[in-house]
């Protein structure tokens, strides 16, 4: 018996298209967690793809979140990578677990947006941005 891949209803063998969803029926349904969905696109940028430039290393998650939200609202692609590992900051134990030594929050920006991101980040974070930058971004 064929199934609708979208609404998951079962139909008689002579039915080829779902009358509700207008989807082509399939013989086998994928489990819910493996179902391919066109409804929700993954908007997360791929930091392993080319075109991302490490720009700054921030010391606070609050600054990183603030910057990420502000740049995304301006349409500037940004990725924040945390230096905290599976076992906490840098995966350390002992005295540094009491006084955490964090690797910080690495800011990656799409290479076509470096100047705009630098300008916006300087407005938002001021001197902290200049001290945190890993590269010099010329206009």
pLDDT tens readout for residues 45-102: 555 557 899 999 998 889 999 999 999 999 999 999 886 554 444 444 444 444 444 5
Q: Phi and psi of 105, rounded to 5°? A: -125, 110
| Distance separating alpha carbons of residues 126 and 129, to the nearest angstrom | 6
What domains can be seen in the chain, in order of their start residue?
Answer: 1-39 (no CATH), 52-132 (3.30.70)
CB-side neighbour CA atoms (13 Å) of 57: 7
Q: Is the pTM of this model over 0.75?
A: no
pLDDT of residue 34 exceeding 80, the answer is no
Tallying the residues shown for the chain, one arrives at 139
pLDDT of residue 113 exceeding 80, the answer is yes
Question: How far are the Cα atoms of 25, 40, 120 from residue 6, in angstroms, in the given order?
Answer: 9, 13, 42
């Amino acid at each position: 018996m064929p199934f609708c891949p979208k609404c998951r209803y079962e139909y008689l063998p002579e039915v080829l298209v779902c009358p509700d969803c207008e989807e082509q029926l399939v013989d086998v349904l994928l489990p819910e967690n493996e179902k391919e969905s066109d409804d929700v696109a993954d908007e997360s940028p791929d930091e392993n793809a080319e075109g991302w430039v490490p720009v700054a290393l921030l010391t606070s998650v609050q600054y990183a979140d603030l910057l990420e939200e502000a740049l995304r609202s301006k349409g500037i692609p940004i990725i924040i990578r945390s230096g905290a590992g599976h076992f906490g900051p840098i995966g350390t134990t002992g005295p540094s677990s009491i006084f955490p030594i964090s690797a910080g929050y690495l800011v990656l920006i799409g290479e076509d947006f470096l100047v705009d991101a630098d300008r916006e980040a300087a407005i938002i974070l001021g001197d902290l941005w200049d001290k945190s930058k890993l590269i010099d971004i010329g206009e």
